[in-house]
Amino acid sequence: MRKLAETFWNIRGVHRVAGLLDIGTHMSLVKRENGRFVIVDGCDPDDTQRDAMLALTDGGELVDAVVHVHPFHTLHVEATQRLFPSATLYGTARHRQKTPTLPWSGTPVEEWGEDHPLADLFDLSVPDGVGFVTDDERVHVASVLVRHRPSGVVHVDDTLNVMAAPGFLRPLLPQSSLRMHPMLSRALIPAPGAADDYAAWARGLAARWADTPVVCAAHSAVRDLPVGGFSREMEAALDKVAGTLKRHRERYG
């Protein structure tokens, strides 16, 4: 469990592709001004991380809410609920569909406005121009991006990636800068203007969240950024998918 700011912790978990390559996953723990906590997402923490979370939150009793923000990150929803059973539970429409017996509260997270239930802590953003849930369930491009207002730390699943070498190679090889999801072409809405909508969203986010010091990406690392680094890396990531956006414009307008 890594402390990234005075009131923000990120917990890294294991997620293996084909049972072999660990691309990682995560959850975050955030402390409110009143001393209580909110959990973002869920993963399978090891014993040390679980014990640290429970010690910090009085055995989970101080956790007010758990919010799941990626529609396809569903593996650990029930386990996280068992760990914090008294917390108010928020999630996307797909979370509700996959685990309908859980006590979901309010409207789906992707529909929240600026006055959402966790507005004291978080700014939220959903990418434009892409389907939030696509027909191809292998496409996990869209999610609700979460920015912790007091610290500026961003928690993101899949929409933005930070690639890092696995295992013992990680300290030896440099991690990547921010990257857009590699399946962006399959997520773009097949309609005129979708590519431009996505590009406008990315540039707007780069400007609004320009002072972001850290990005916690589910797959597969935490990225520490210099001053102005978020804007530069978002613009560079957008440049890298310029060909994808151009081909979409040529096909759909």
* Span between the terminal Cα atoms of the chain, in Å: 46
- DSSP assignment string, 140-206: -----EEEETTT--EEESSSEE-----GGGTTTSPPP--EE-TTHHHHB-SSTTHHHHHHHHHHHHH
- DSSP assignment string, 52-93: HHHHHTTTTTTEEEEE---TT--TTHHHHHHHSTTSEEE--H
For 198-222, write each residue's pLDDT tens digit: 999 999 999 999 999 999 987 677 8
Residue 81: band (very low, low, confident or very high) from pLDDT cuts 50, 70, 90: very high
% of the chain residues with pLDDT over 70: 89
Phi-psi region of 77 (alpha: psi -120 to 50; beta: other; left: phi over 0): alpha
pLDDT in the model for residue 18: 44
**Quick check: 226 and 177 in contact, CB under 8 A?**
no
**Quick check: 159 and 198 in contact, CB under 8 A?**
no
Q: What is the mean pLDDT of residues 225-233?
A: 95
Residue 141 scores a pLDDT above 60: yes
**Angle ∠(210,11,131) on CA atoms, nearest 5:** 55
Phi-psi region of 58 (alpha: psi -120 to 50; beta: other; left: phi over 0): left
Domains of the chain: residue spans and CATH = 2-252 (3.60.15.10)
Going from the C-alpha of 233 to that of each of 16, 152, 219, 238, the distances in angstroms are 27, 16, 17, 8
- The pTM score is 0.91
Q: What is the mean pLDDT of residues 20-43?
A: 85
Q: How far is Cα 64 from Cα 220, in angstroms, rounded to an integer?
A: 27
Q: What is the mean pLDDT of residues 129-142?
A: 88
Residue 175 scores a pLDDT above 70: no
Q: How far is Cα 212 from Cα 152, in angstroms, rounded to an integer?
A: 5
